[in-house]
Amino acid sequence: MKILKYSLVLILPVLVVLSFYQKGISTYFPIIYAFGIIPLLELIFKPDPTNISSVEEELRKKDLRYDLVVYLMVPVQYFVLFMFLFNFTRLDLVLYEKIGMVLGMGMMCGVIGINVAHELGHRKKDYEKVMARMLLLTSLYMHFYIEHNRGHHKNVSTPEDPASARYNETVYGFYFRSIYNSYMSAWKIANDQQRKNRSAVFSLKNEMLQYQLIQILFSIGVYFLFGIEGLLAFLGAALIGILLLETVNYIEHYGLQRKQVSEGRYERVLPLHSWNSDHVVGRLMLFELSRHSDHHYIASRPYQILMHHDNSPQMPTGYPGMMIMALFPPIWFKIMNKKADDIRNLVSVA
C-alpha cells in the first residue's frame, strides 16, 4: 500500500480518457475532479506532518517500485495525448465540448507531463533525464529542464528568480513575468554553458537550440497527422499545462525572500523559503510535490522520502485549493499577505 497509494494519480488519466468519449458536461469531469472533488477532500482530511523513520527512508530509496510508478507516467502521457488528438479531430463535437477536452488534456500536461518531468529532471541517470525531456515536450516547455534545475533552484526566493512570486504580485502579472523571463533565463544559462565549453553559441550543441528544433518538429508531426485543428488543440492543451505549472510556481514561493549576505550572494536555501502543504490527497496526486520546502532544501531527495519541517511556512489548504484562491487576488492577498508577514516577522526576530 505504501507504493500503491501513489498509483492513485492514474485516476486523472482514466477520467481524461473517459471524458474523450463523453458528451455535454461530462467532458469536464477531469476539471471537476481536480478543482472540485480534491479541494473538498482536502478540507475534510487534516494535513499529516508525520515523517517516516530513517530506516524506512533507506528502504524506500532502494525500492525500485517507486521509480517504476513515475516511469509509467511517460507512456501514459503519450497514450493520452494520442487519444486526445485522435478523438478531437474525428468526433463531432460542439465548441464547449472541445474546450472540455482541451482542458482535460491540459490537466494531463500539467499534472502528469510537467510535474513528473520535474521529479525525473532532478534524477542522475541519463535515461531518467531523457524521460523528463520527453514529458516536457508534450507541453512544449523543454526549457524548464534547464532553467528550473540551474536557475530556479539557485535563485529561488530572490529578485533574480523569475519563478518566485513577489509580495503583492497578482498571479496574472506573474504569468507574463515568469514565462518570459524563465525562457530568456534558460537561453542565458545554455549560452553561458556553450561559452564555458569554448563552443559557438549558435550551435547544435546548444541545449536550448536543440529543444526549439525538437519542439518545432514535434508540432509539425502533430500537424501532418492531425491537421490544423489537431495542432491548435495540442497548442491549447500545452498552454493550459504551462499555466498550471506557473500557477503552482506562484503559490510555492509567494512573498518569501532569502536574506542577501553580500553583493549577488544570498543565504542558503532553507525550508522557510518555500510554502509547504501536508494535505494528504494533494501529496499523493502530485507525487509529494506539495512538500516543497524539503524539495528545495535538499533537491536530490526523491518524492517518496520528502519530509515535513516544523519551520516551513504552511499553506492553509492543498495545492488545488490554493491555485483556485490565487485566481482571486483580493482573497489571496487578504489571506497570504498576513501569513507572509508573519514569516518575515519571525525571521527578523530570529
245: exposed, middle or buried (C-beta count within 10 Å: 0-12, 13-18, 19+)?
A: buried
Q: DSSP of 155-170, one letter per residue?
A: HTTSTT-TTSPPTT--
Q: Which ranges of the chain does DSSP label H, i.e. alpha helix?
A: 11-19, 29-32, 38-44, 54-62, 64-90, 95-108, 115-121, 126-137, 144-147, 153-155, 171-196, 207-253, 280-285, 292-297, 319-326, 329-349
Q: Looking at the predicted structure, is the pLDDT value of residue 293 above 70?
A: yes
pTM comes to 0.95
Residue 268 within a domain: no
Per-residue pLDDT reduced to its tens digit, 82-115: 999 999 999 999 999 999 999 999 999 999 999 9
pLDDT of residue 264: 80
State the average pLDDT over residues 307-333.
Answer: 96
What pLDDT, on a 0 to 100 scale, did the predictor assign at position 345? 83
- Tell me, yes or no, whether 265 lies in a domain: no
pLDDT digits (tens, 9 = 90+) for 130-171: 999 999 999 999 999 999 999 999 999 999 999 999 999 999
Least confident of 27-31, 248-252, 318-322, 343-347: 343-347
Containing domain of residue 214, as a range?
2-242
pLDDT of res. 263: 83
Q: Is the pLDDT of residue 349 over 80?
A: no
Residue 11 covered by a domain: yes
Residue 348 reports pLDDT greater than 80: no
Residue 100: CB partners within 8 Å, gap ≥ 6?
A: 19, 25, 27, 28, 31
Percent of the chain whose pLDDT exceeds 90: 91
Identify whether 340 is part of a domain: no
What percentage of the chain exceeds 70 in pLDDT?
99
Any domain includes 285 = no
Q: Is residue 201 part of a domain?
A: yes
Structural domain count, the chain: 1
Q: Where does the pLDDT of residue 340 fall: very low under 50, low under 70, confident under 90, or very high at 90 and above?
A: very high
Mean pLDDT across the chain, nearest whole number? 95
Domain assignment present for 258: no
Q: For the segment 166-193, what is each residue's pLDDT rounded down to a tens digit?
A: 999 999 999 999 999 999 999 999 999 9
Q: d(Cα 151, Cα 162) in Å, to the nearest integer?
A: 9
The answer to the question of residue 70 being in a domain is: yes
